[in-house]
Structure 1
Amino acid sequence: MGFLDRLTGRKPREEPKSVEQAAPAPVAEPVTSLPSTSGGLPAELRDAVPNNTLLSAAGISAPQGKLYNPYEGLATQIGTSKHAFRLPEGPEFVFEEEASVRRRDWTQHLQFYCGGGYLAGGLVGVAGGLYKFATVKPDVVTDTLKLKTNRLLNTCGSFARPFSNSCGILGLYFSGLESLYVNQLEELGVPDSVSTLLAGFSSGALFRLPRGPRQAVVAGAVGVAAAGGITALRKVFPSL
């Protein structure tokens, strides 16, 4: 039939495609509509700024914090809509146990004050040694650099060792006693500042107790004054 069709000029008949040869029609996939967005992100992923008027009418206080726009100054260049995040004023915690902690534990307290006292005493001792080296003239004039360096190191070391050891011991006493007083008196409603003052008095009195009761009382009064200074500094530097 194909040869006769060619001679007569008729077009060959197009046979219908079988069901097996027919290509299956594409199945339309269901389209999941995203929530209404602004800026190209879903509403659940955006830190939307709540309406203060609606919150006030509902009796809910509006969240506090500074608004921060990461695309400030770049929105016109990259074509991103304005979006502001509300930065928290305080630290954020993942676990509730961390958020409930208001101070260091007794081991961290011990390390902080013991190490800090030792370093502070060492710095005071080095400063005293430098002052003595600059003001006191030796009996034998040392005109060489090596002898002067040796005298400087000996003078600073003789002042720094007792100061650093004493301040480290005071920091050990103070940190341990303050943790003890806070743990025992917090349940009674006693402020933490009172526990700090008691720890200062106890630390000074315990440090000077071997020299007699009078020296212990005087050292306790000095400890109360130092603890009061620490309490005042904690209002400015809460990490103390």
Structure 2
Amino acid sequence: MAYQSREHNDSTRRLYNPYKDLRPEYLFQEESLAQRRSWGENLTYYTGIGYLAGSSAGTARGFVSGVKSIEQTDTMKLRINRILNGSGHTGRKVGNRCGVIGLMYAALESGMMAIRDEDDIINSVVAGLGTGALYKAAAGPRSAAVAGAIGGVIVGIAVAGKQALKRYVPI
């Protein structure tokens, strides 16, 4: 009986983490106060994540369209060529678009932080709203307004979800 209870305690107990209570050391006190990436790191991060996610999704979409464009009379080399061309073309196109969206979002969010001198959800939502509006500005004011609203809502949901995960999911 004692063996079973010990086994039960081991399975419910977390593993020891020697780095749990350590915080990173900073050279200057001001660095320790800012728990956020710099604007340059932010710009690089959002642009890179946008390009990576967009090119991955675009490649998958291009792969499907390449497979659908295959004809029965095509040789194996031609079939592979159609798939690779579809994947590469669509992947680059969608990746570039998402990278530009990430670039605009990072610039607007950093600008909002500089203007307001606060780090809260309002900066993120306004940056999402502005990104959507700027991205579709050439299509007209109605399209820009709709895209801005969609961008603001998506960012609001993402930030609220991130806060809920931090609060309710133990790490």
TM-score scaled to structure 1, two decimals? 0.56
Percent identical across equivalent pairs?
36
Q: Which runs of 5+ in 1 are unaligned?
A: 1-67, 69-85
**Cα drift, residue 144 of structure 1:** 2.3
Specify the structure having the higher radius of gyration (Cα): 1
Q: How much does 1:154 deviate?
A: 1.2
Q: Shift of the alpha carbon at 1:233?
A: 4.6
How big is the shift at 1:89? Answer: 2.9
Cα separation, 2, equivalents of 1:205 and 1:90: 42
Among 149, 154, 176, the alignment partner of 2:107 is 176
1:66-85 equivalence runs, <5 A: none
Match of 2:129 among 188, 193, 201: 201
1:214 maps to 2:148: no
Where does structure 2 lack aligned partners over 5 or more consecutive residues?
1-15, 167-171
| Aligned partner of 1:156 among 75, 87, 104 | 87
Correspondence for 2:51 among 100, 118, 129: 118
**Higher RCO (C-alpha 8 Å, min separation 6):** 2
1:232 and 2:167 aligned: no
CA deviation after TM superposition for structure 1 residue 230, in Å: 3.1
The 4+ residue runs of structure 1 with deviation greater than 6 A are none
Name the CA shift for 1:113/1:213 in 2 (closer, same or farther; >3 Å). Answer: same
Matches within 5 A, 1:49-60: none
Tell me which amino acid in the other structure corresponds to 1:158: H
| Alpha-carbon contact 2:66-2:85 (below 8 Å) kept | no
Tell me, in whole angstroms, the C-alpha distance in 2 between the residues paired with 1:185 and 1:198: 12
The 3 A distance-change label for structure 1 pair 150 and 87 is closer
Look up the SS of the partner of 1:102 in the other structure.
Answer: coil
State the Cα deviation string for residues 62-90 of structure 1 (Å, max 9, x = none): xxxxxx7xxxxxxxxxxxxxxxxx86535
Write the mapping of 1:19-168 to structure 2, written as runs, cut at 5 A: 88-89=20-21, 91-95=23-27, 96-134=29-67, 136-138=68-70, 140-168=71-99
Kindly provide the CA deviation profile for residues 162-202 of structure 1, in whole angstroms up to 9, marking residues without a partner as x: 21111011001000000110121135xxx510110000000
Provide TM-score, normalisation by structure 2. Answer: 0.77
How far 1:210 sits from its partner (Å)?
Answer: 0.4
Maintained 8 Å contact 1:126/1:160: yes
CA distance in 1, matches of 2:147, 2:35: 30
Query: How many correspondences in the alignment?
Result: 148
Tell me the SS of whatever aligns to 2:72. Answer: coil
Alpha-carbon distance between aligned partners in 2 of 1:178 and 1:90, rounded to the nearest angstrom: 30
Q: 1:94 to 1:113 in 2, by over 3 A?
A: closer
Matches of 2:131 and 2:115, distance apart in 1: 17
The structure in which a higher percent of residues are helix is 2
Q: Aligned-residue CA RMSD in angstroms?
A: 2.2
Q: Which amino acid aligns with 1:111?
A: T
